[in-house]
Amino acid sequence: MLIVDAYNVLHLPEAAARDLDVAALCRSIGASRYAGGRVVVICDGAPGSGPEARERASGAGIDVVFVGAGRSADDEIEARLHRHGGAGVTVVSDDRRLRRAAGRAKARTLASGAFLAQILLDQARRPTRQRPAFTKDLPLDRYSIAHWLSEFGLPASDVLAPRPNAPKSGTRRARPSPAAETQQRAGQASLPEPPPATITPRETSSRTEEAAEGLARLEALREDPIIRDALEAWRGRLSLEDLDMQRWLDGPAGRGPAG
């Protein structure tokens, strides 16, 4: 058990410089190497109406005891040592009277300055809570945000409002330079010709049906106002085919064996 002479610690210049009070001292102890152990913080006087009111620090096992008028914290600590003995007890104080009383009770002592340095160092070394990894992922674009707002019945008009720097509908993509076009044609000319594919009548019929279904899905997508706005804003970078999820599901990885 750790018994702390509270104001003997709080009157140190290091504590005063940090504007520590009893509540802050308890929080620092709860974030230090002493967290989880039995800690009793003994204070002179009576509790006030603020954060120094008598309390058990949440989850830290810290008891805050104000001794009241007509008695000192030293009296209370010495009485506890006399009643319970000093086995397994460490007294934190620079008071000579308490250090002598701890010696008689076979308790250990720890200087207030050393104790304060310990808990402040432990608090500084305690890792800060890291943001979850998913919060650092690429954020959603405004069309995705509008979609999820609509899913939860929230207005999405503000999200879809035109931005000052958004590309205009009539903006054309810059034409590549003649040198880039020549290099692109040369790269395309060097590609080998694929072998002619043999298509059976059954495959021809199946592909025709798939194409018709694909066109129907694309027309349905085209009617969605959010998708229309997205296509307009990302002209040249996004197409309806990119948004056809069935196309990806029916790709080579998603197809089953032919029947």
Residues 209-232 have pLDDT tens digits of 766 676 776 677 677 777 777 777
For residues 154 and 165, the model is more confident at 154
Phi and psi at 243, nearest 5°, equal -95, 0
Question: In the CATH scheme, what architecture does the domain 2-125 have?
Answer: 3-Layer(aba) Sandwich (3.40)
The domain ranges of the chain are: 2-125, 140-162+204-254
CB 139 within 8 A of CB 148: no
pLDDT for 245 equals 67
CB 91 within 8 A of CB 102: yes
pLDDT for 240 equals 67
pLDDT for 256 equals 47
Best-predicted range by mean pLDDT (66-80, 183-197, 237-251): 66-80
Would you place residue 151 in the very low, low, confident or very high pLDDT band (cuts 50, 70, 90)? Answer: confident
Which tens digit of pLDDT belongs to each residue from 89-116? 999 999 999 999 999 999 999 999 999 9
Instruction: Look at the alpha carbons of 128, 129, 132, 135 in this order and tell me if their dihedral is positive or negative.
Output: negative
Residue 54 confidence (pLDDT) above 50: no
pLDDT above 70 as % of the chain: 58
HEC per residue, 229-247: HHHHHCCCCCCHHHHCHHH
pLDDT for 154 equals 78
Residue 52 confidence (pLDDT) above 50: no
Instruction: State mean pLDDT over 116-130.
Output: 83
Which tens digit of pLDDT belongs to each residue from 1-46? 999 999 999 999 999 999 999 999 999 999 899 988 899 999 998 8
CB 159 within 8 A of CB 146: yes
pLDDT for 195 equals 63
Amino acid found at 232: E
Give dist(CA 5, CA 23) in Å, integer.
14
Residue 170 confidence (pLDDT) above 70: no
Residue 49 confidence (pLDDT) above 60: no
**Whether the model pTM is above 0.95:** no
DSSP 129: P
Give dist(CA 240, CA 9) in Å, integer.
70
For residues 110 and 156, the model is more confident at 110
CB 56 within 8 A of CB 64: yes
